[in-house]
Amino acid sequence: GQNIDQPTEMTATEGAIVQINCTYQTSGFNGLFWYQQHAGEAPTFLSYNVLDGLEEKGRFSSFLSRSKGYSYLLLKELQMKDSASYLCAVRGGDTGRRALTFGSGTRLQVQP
């Protein structure tokens, strides 16, 4: 099976930088996703990593280390609207039993 760990809650200050970590265990790793979900709303896609390294998209960056089973989402210049849950999801599994497993999410609260 697949296992994903991410912190339950984090707090950060407006204008600062925050790093949200995600560790995973899976066989046949084939991609890692980050989604943002505001309270009471649908998840929206943020980023996708399949190779080691950093993917940058505006204020958001996502990093992957396949050998360590580790990813992080970096949010720069935090804004109040970044208060949301951030979901890490891993695609993997053996041939014939592919799965996309979501972590339980990290709730980020941005304070003034």
Partner 1 sequence: NAGVTQTPKFQVLKTGQSMTLQCAQDMNHEYMSWYRQDPGMGLRLIHYSVGAGITDQGEVPNGYNVSRSTTEDFPLRLLSAAPSQTSVYFCASSYSNPLLAGGPGEQYFGPGTRLTVT
Q: Interface with partner 1 by CB under 8 A: which residues?
A: 4, 30-31, 33, 41-45, 48, 50, 87, 89, 91, 98-105
**What whole-number distance in Å separates Cα of residue 39 and Cα of residue 85?**
7
**What whole-number distance in Å separates Cα of residue 42 and Cα of residue 50?**
24
Q: In whole angstroms, how close is the CB of 45 to partner 1 at the nearest point?
A: 5
CB 8 within 8 A of CB 87: no
Q: In whole angstroms, how close is the CB of 43 to partner 1 at the nearest point?
A: 5
Nearer to partner 1, 31 or 70 (CB): 31
Q: In whole angstroms, how close is the CB of 16 to partner 1 at the nearest point?
A: 27
Task: Please name the amino acid found at residue 38.
Answer: H
